Structure 1
Amino acid sequence: MNSIIKFLPTVDAPESTRLPQRSTKFSAGYDFYAPTDIFIPADSESVLVPLNVKAIMPGDMVLLLFIRSSLAVKSNLSLVNGVGVIDSDYANNPDNDGNIGVKFRNNGSETIIIREGERCMQGIFVRYFVTEDDNASGERVGGYGSTDR
């Protein structure tokens, strides 16, 4: 099984795309950077933001995405689905080349702006296991929500 783990820009990513990286030697999470200024309207409005990055990882791994605690605490932002789950077969899918996207929700009363280049997410690679009687045989055919089409 392929054991390479890496981030790559998506095919259509701008040249300015910054790949995720850890900030300190003992950081569990890779920081993701806002690809442009992101405006999130007040009162529970949400905005989907493609990060122009894909994750390459072995088949027994998943990338879990969390909002940075500084944004959640200081700006009252959250992720619409709480945590992002990026499967290993999401990379290179035909719909969006594996472009990792996040959907922020503004739980406050003022528009929040995440500035281009600001750290907005953190991702942690985790190995997972399957049950002894697992028989999943489907194949991904697209991007967001495609395994349930």
Structure 2
Amino acid sequence: MSRGFEIVSSYRNADLRLPYRTTQRAAGYDFESAVDFTVPSIWKLDFLKILWAIRHQESLDSVAQAKAQKALKPFLIPTGIKAYMGPDEVLILANRSSNPLKRSLVIPNGIGVIDADYYNNENNEGEIFMQVLNFGLADAKIKKGDRIGQGIFMPFLKADDERAPQQERQGGFGSSGK
């Protein structure tokens, strides 16, 4: 098999479903939450005070800066899923069209990129998390089994004059460098 999904070992007995396409012509495989999860509203995390200070060009003290970082730090919803694919393929994680409308959830960087070497590398089994921010006024309550995002397998191209990377992945988020 050249591409697909598996359940990570820590969720082996958690009664999870592998990602699936909902309709015949759907490009994306729906990912479900592996757990009940609450994504707090950014408005509850002093976000308005931070915006006011920025708007009025007031400097933020270290406590306010820490709160600003916390308010805009994405939350990671576990899926309990890992993906395998060919070496010249990538799994693109995208928001579901209903997430901003129903739950006020967005993926802060627009998409997620799951490289082929994220799967079962030396220090990381390759569990996929959906990275989200909640811009709604209330906390977003996610139940285990709720669809939280979608993944699309895609081929990618390399530059003709690329100097091939020598580094091998050793872990998860951010493990390939700064």
With the length of structure 2 as denominator, give the TM-score of the two structures.
Answer: 0.77
RMSD: 1.5
C-alpha distance in structure 2 between counterparts of 1:96 and 1:85, whole Å: 16
Query: C-alpha displacement at 1:139, in angstroms?
Result: 0.8
Which of 156, 166, 173 is equivalent to 1:137? Answer: 166
Return the structure number with greater helix share: 2
Q: Determine the C-alpha separation between the residues in 1 that align with 2:105 and 2:173.
A: 22
Moved over 2 A (4+): 93-96
In 2: Cα distance, 1:99 partner to 1:93 partner: 11
Does structure 2 retain, via aligned residues, the 8 Å contact 1:94–1:141?
yes
- Alpha-carbon distance in structure 1 between the residues aligned to 2:91 and 2:145: 21
Q: Which is greater in Rg?
A: 2
Q: Give 1:52 shift.
A: 1.0
Give me the TM-score of the superposition, normalised by structure 1. 0.91
- Give the 3-state SS of the residue equivalent to 1:145 in structure 2: coil
**Identity between Structure 1 and Structure 2 (%):** 38
Aligned-partner SS, 2:151: strand
| CA distance in structure 2 between the partners assigned to 1:108 and 1:57 by the alignment | 35
Aligned to 2:6: 8
Q: How many residues align?
A: 147
In the alignment, structure 1 segments of 5+ residues that lack a partner are none
**Counterpart-to-counterpart distance in 1, 2:168 and 2:75:** 28
Deviation at 1:145, TM superposition (A): 0.5
- Structure 2 unmatched ranges of 5 or more: 44-70
Structure with bigger strand share is 1
